[in-house]
Structure 1
Amino acid sequence: MIRITQTFFYQGIGLWHPTGNFEFQPYFFNTLVSVVATVQVAAVLEGIYLYRSWQVSYTETQELKKISLQSQLESLKTQLNPHFLFSNLNSLSALIGSDAGKAERFKDELSSVYRYLLHQNNRILCPLADELAFLNAYFHLIKTR
């Protein structure tokens, strides 16, 4: 509507020179330019809005995944610790009577595993060397049992 009024004003002051009594070409051209520009601006703004919405939902999804994995890990830790401890103590008790050398190594590996578990509760990341040492100690416990 503003473009049409503007074109009519331009015709009135002589900027547009119609060839007939009432020429529609300038009105059509101004309306077309206005519509094309509006569609382009709307497309850019809609793209920006959709990208920001995607960023927010992606961040929320990643946070929820992280929270879910953390709760699963905590749940596993609480379920595993008591059973694991009593099972290993029973194995140690059986080894003490039969082979004192194996019992001594089993005790060292068990203390290494529990030391790792206690330290790991307080930190988020740990060095790969610590992880490998834990895996070796744990594997030795399982193999001996």
Structure 2
Amino acid sequence: MTRKIALAALAAVVVFHVIVFIEFGTLWVGALAGYQELLLVFAFLLPTFLVHAPLARLFGADRLTRPPATVKALLEGLCVVLVSLVFWVVFFSLPQHYLVPTAEITPKALRLSLAVSAVLSLFFYYFVEREHSRQHLQQEVVRVAELQKETFQAQLEALKNQVDPHFLFNSLNVLGSLIHLDPDRAVQFLSQLAEVYRALLDTGAQPLVPLRSEMALVRAYASLLETRFGEALRVEWDIAPAWEQALVPPTAVQMLLENAIKHNGSTPRKPLHIKVSIADGMLVVANNRQPRTGAVASTHTGLRNIQRRYHHLTDRLVEIVPTPEVFVVRLPLLTAPAA
């Protein structure tokens, strides 16, 4: 709004003095009363500029797709001209009649004024508002492309982690042991492993998924980890059903569980505790810190990936709170976008 007011004021001053120069050969009006028409020019341009934005949205690339491009362009220009003529009458002609009743307007001057107002409106529409809309559309295209890239990267990282030779080796070892010791648990373990892959594939290229879907993946993945680590790992859940429809980037929570396992050691006497809960509209993943004795190389790719994806989706920030005792990550829970 402030931008439009400033633009209308600047344009009004320029147009007014150009007209004065053409008519009188000078930029100085002389009498202060003469500047009443400057206010009228501003009163005409301001609503004209304000209505240009909704017109640009109406005729944007994703609207009015049925008419041919040529017809659509003609309709767009006609609408701009008609709006300018209506505003010229309402905000310039009628006020001028009452504020400057002594002014004599010849038919030629009237036609010229109408033509100038229409040309001005078309000029500012196509070279200011449409250009602004085009740039905004380009920014949206870039934002969507970047978000899709981040989503694909997250899915790739998740799949790479799942098919990592160590993961497969450990999972198959656990499965082999369970087949002899506890066939029922072996069947359950295999089912959970399949569930992890199915959940990963189901997310597809979606930038956001319901928390319910993400938790189905995370619970299946956590169950695999608990089977593998036994008493050395404890995962606690505190997710109210009311939040199941909230949205999160796919695999974001699963990546945080991977991060906790990767950077922390655990034993039955000193188990790794991971708690997944919701507080203040944020999904909180917290774990006690038990750094591994051997150095673990970390590029922080997972956390950066999550942060970048949220950056494309919302102004709300991912909160990372490391302390000597615990490592906490808070993910904003988003609402479904309007249709």
Q: State the TM-score bracket (shorter-chain normalisation).
A: 0.5 to 0.7
1:95 aligns with 2:174: yes
CA displacement at 1:32 relative to structure 2: 2.8
Distance change (3 Å), C-alpha of 1:81 and 1:72? same
Residues 100-141 of structure 1: CA deviation (Å, up to 9, x unaligned) = 334332211110111122222276665543332212101112
Number of paired residues? 123
Alignment of 1:62-73 (within 5 A): 62-73=140-151
CA distance in 1, matches of 2:209, 2:157: 22
Question: Tell me, what secondary structure is at the counterpart of 1:99?
Answer: helix
Q: Name the amino acid aligned to 1:110.
A: L
Number of the residue aligned with 1:140: 223
Asked if the contact 2:196–2:221 (Cα under 8 Å) also holds between the matched residues in 1, the reply is: yes
Unaligned runs of at least 5 residues, structure 2? 1-19, 25-29, 53-124, 229-339
Note closer, same or farther for the CA distance 1:76–1:130 as it changes in structure 2 (3 Å cut).
Answer: closer
Identical aligned residues as a percent: 20
Counterpart code for 1:121: G
Deviation at 1:55, TM superposition (A): 5.4
Task: Say if 2:147 and 2:207, in contact at 8 Å, map to a contact too.
Answer: no
- Which residue in 2 is equivalent to 1:112? 195
Q: Deviations over 1:65-120 (max 9, x none)?
A: 33212101112222332441234421232113433334332211110111122222
Report 1 or 2 for greater relative contact order, CA contacts < 8 Å, sequence distance ≥ 6.
1
Q: Distance in 1 between matches of 2:196 and 2:154?
A: 16
**Which is richer in helix?**
1
Structure 2 Cα separation of the partners of residues 129 and 80 of structure 1: 18
Q: Which has the higher strand share?
A: 2
Asked if residue 31 in structure 1 is aligned to residue 110 in structure 2, the reply is: no
Write the letter of the residue equivalent to 2:200.
L
Unaligned runs of 5+ in 1: 6-26
1:77 aligns with 2:155: yes
Q: Which has the larger radius of gyration?
A: 1
Equivalent position to 1:41, from 38, 41, 44: 44
